[in-house]
Amino acid sequence: MTAPESPGEGQTDSAALTDKVAIVTGGASGLGRAMALALGKAGARVVVADLDAQAGREVADLVGGTFRACDVSDLDANRALVDFAQQQYGGVDIALLNAGVATGCGVGDDFDPARYRRAMGANLDGVVYGTHAVLPALRARGGGSIVATSSLAGLTAVPLDPLYAANKHAVVGLARSLGPALAPDNVRFNAVCPGFAESRIIDSLRDMLTAQGLPVIPAEVVADTVLRILTGDGTGECWFVQPDREPEPFRFRTVPGPGRSAAA
């Protein structure tokens, strides 16, 4: 019998995800919905987490999974989400920490502390709290995989939305740092960094994108990239996703070391 060919570049070994238990935050719409659907198609058992109960349940029904309401900016809610997944399926193998919101303000005259805290709570606290909550469950399975949704805004300057860039840069920093830190536990931590992709976050930008002729990345392309990350073996990587380019880990420059006098 001839052995099946292994997936090539740009392909996903979906069989590796069969029967894996996955949590997807922000799973009711946009990128999270596409991720949940892709996982379900690959045979994973999916817990869809979101504040939008109606849309979340619809996605859960589509993938034969379950829904759990969750405010990711609340640590106890993250813990309850993981407990729910363990009760439903006996454990957790994958966490896609995807929930996020637009900032809605800057740091000048338009600064709004409530909007700022809402954005930081969803985009950064949601990743930190989600990681903290799921780690014991992943360790209990002998390891697992976490993928956090960052953004191209986490890899470059964004003068029009510096606060969004700040929390997305923080997610990139977490991925680069937690990748090697969690490796001894056999837990892989990576980030996906899409450009302008189909989601609610770009609703206020659609007219500008259309006027400038900038294409919007289909959510399914981002979801496929996440599956490639899940079925790969890398950790601490931040994969960019841009139109008409093959997604791949971003190559960070090495920071300068000490000068000669300091080394001496």
Tell me what the mean pLDDT of segment 106-110 comes to.
Answer: 95
pLDDT of residue 263: 59
Per residue in 220-235, pLDDT (tens digit) is: 999 999 999 999 999 9
**DSSP assignment, residue 197?**
B
**Residue bearing the bigger pLDDT, 181 or 216:** 181
Return d(Cα 197, Cα 54) in angstroms, integer.
23
pTM: 0.92
Q: CB within 8 A of 186, min separation 6: which ones? A: 142, 143, 144
Per residue in 30-41, pLDDT (tens digit) is: 999 999 999 999
- Whether 5 has a pLDDT exceeding 90, the answer reads no
pLDDT of residue 211: 74
Query: How large is the C-alpha radius of gyration of the chain?
Result: 19
- Whether 6 has a pLDDT exceeding 50, the answer reads no
Return d(Cα 168, Cα 154) in angstroms, integer.
4
pLDDT of residue 8: 44
pLDDT of residue 198: 76
pLDDT of residue 4: 33
Residues in the chain: 264
pLDDT of residue 260: 81
pLDDT of residue 11: 59
Mean pLDDT taken over the chain? 91
- Whether 204 has a pLDDT exceeding 90, the answer reads no
Q: What are phi and psi of 234, to 5 degrees?
A: -80, 160
pLDDT of residue 2: 34
pLDDT of residue 215: 80
pLDDT of residue 259: 87
Other CB atoms within 10 Å distance of the CB of residue 2: 4
Per residue in 110-156, pLDDT (tens digit) is: 999 999 999 999 999 999 999 999 999 999 999 999 999 999 999 99
pLDDT category of residue 261 using cuts at 50, 70 and 90: confident
Determine the straight-line distance between the first and last CA of the chain, rounded to whole angstroms: 62
Is 164 tagged catalytic?
A: yes
Return d(Cα 216, Cα 62) in angstroms, integer.
25
Q: Of 89, 116, 129, 164, which one is the catalytic site residue? A: 164
Per residue in 51-106, pLDDT (tens digit) is: 999 999 999 999 999 999 999 999 999 999 999 999 999 999 999 999 999 898 99
pLDDT of residue 156: 96
- Whether 9 has a pLDDT exceeding 70, the answer reads no
- Token pair, residue 212, equals 């400038």
pLDDT of residue 264: 58
Return d(Cα 101, Cα 109) in angstroms, integer.
21
